[in-house]
A and B are shown apart, each in its own frame.
Chain A
Amino acid sequence: MDTGPYSDEKVQTYLEKEFVPVKSQCFWDKRTDLMKQFNIAWTPTLLVHDSIGNEHHRVVGFVPVEDFLAHLKLGKGKMFFNRFRFAEAIEEFTAVSEQHPTAGATPEAIFFLGVAKYWKSHDPKGLRWGYDTLAARFPQSEWARRAQPYQQIPL
């Protein structure tokens, strides 16, 4: 029986379609090999890995459905981004921004969307777009502050 965000049909469908899902039970009195391998010190810990086992995204603590879906898409986007597959990364980051506009992961997705736009086009206006969007939508976020240097880029 799936509980928490896993009881939501959107989560079930998305996970089944887009990921190979793995559940690993933790024991604090005798840590499992997998807990040691991935440095698990609290639960729930959620990881997104590529198909050869490299980690691209980590979430610690409970997340409700909308945040959960946004983290899955952000993780997938970061996997493409880290492999320099920017068109696919842009698709995932855009999905977070448009489909989960108030999720906790959205400012980070917008930051990486701006960077991915820059890498894809080599036009620094992508970075400036990232700053402008974060400043308008999430002015208090750390990601807006991280993008501050791009404020200098002329439009």
Chain B
Amino acid sequence: MAMIKWEKDFSTAVKLAEKTRKPIFLDFWFDG
């Protein structure tokens, strides 16, 4: 099973996406 390695910081995700040339998937969630 491939656990998802979630980024929490968007700017870090953009840098990683530029490096890997992958698109970014953002999930805005609410714990309520």
Q: How many residue pairs between the two chains, A and B, have CB atoms under 8 Å in the bound complex?
A: 122
> Is the Cβ of B26 less than 8 Å from the Cβ of A22?
yes
Q: What string of 1s and 0s marks CB contacts (under 8 Å) between B1-32 and chain A? A: 11111111110011011101111111111110
Bound state CA distance, A48 and B26, in angstroms? 7
> Is the Cβ of B14 less than 8 Å from the Cβ of A72?
no
Interface of A is mostly: mixed
Q: Does A50 belong to the interface (CB within 8 Å)?
A: yes
Chain A interface category by residue count: 35 or more
Q: A6, A19, A28, A48 — which one has the most chain B CB atoms within 10 A of its CB?
A: A19
Q: Hey, which chain B residues are within 8 Å of A38, CB to CB?
A: 26, 28
> Is the Cβ of A20 less than 8 Å from the Cβ of B3?
no
Known: A25-B31, A43-B29, A51-B14. A12 touches B1 (CB 8 A): yes
Q: Does A64 belong to the interface (CB within 8 Å)?
A: no
Among candidates B10, B20, B23, residue contacting A34 with C-beta atoms closer than 8 Å: B10
Q: Hey, which chain A residues are within 8 Å of B26, CB to CB?
A: 22-24, 38, 46-49
> Is the Cβ of B23 less than 8 Å from the Cβ of A76?
yes
Chain A contacts with B in 68-85, Cβ cutoff 8 A: 72, 75-76, 79
Known: A9-B1, A48-B23, A51-B18. A25 touches B13 (CB 8 A): no
Known: A2-B4, A48-B23, A50-B23. A20 touches B13 (CB 8 A): yes
Binding site for A on B (CB under 8 A): 1-10, 13-14, 16-18, 20-31
Binding site for B on A (CB under 8 A): 2, 6, 9, 12-13, 15-16, 18-28, 34-35, 38, 40, 43-53, 56, 72, 75-76, 79
Interchain residue pairs A-B with the least CB separation, the first 5 = A51-B17, A43-B30, A49-B24, A19-B25, A47-B26
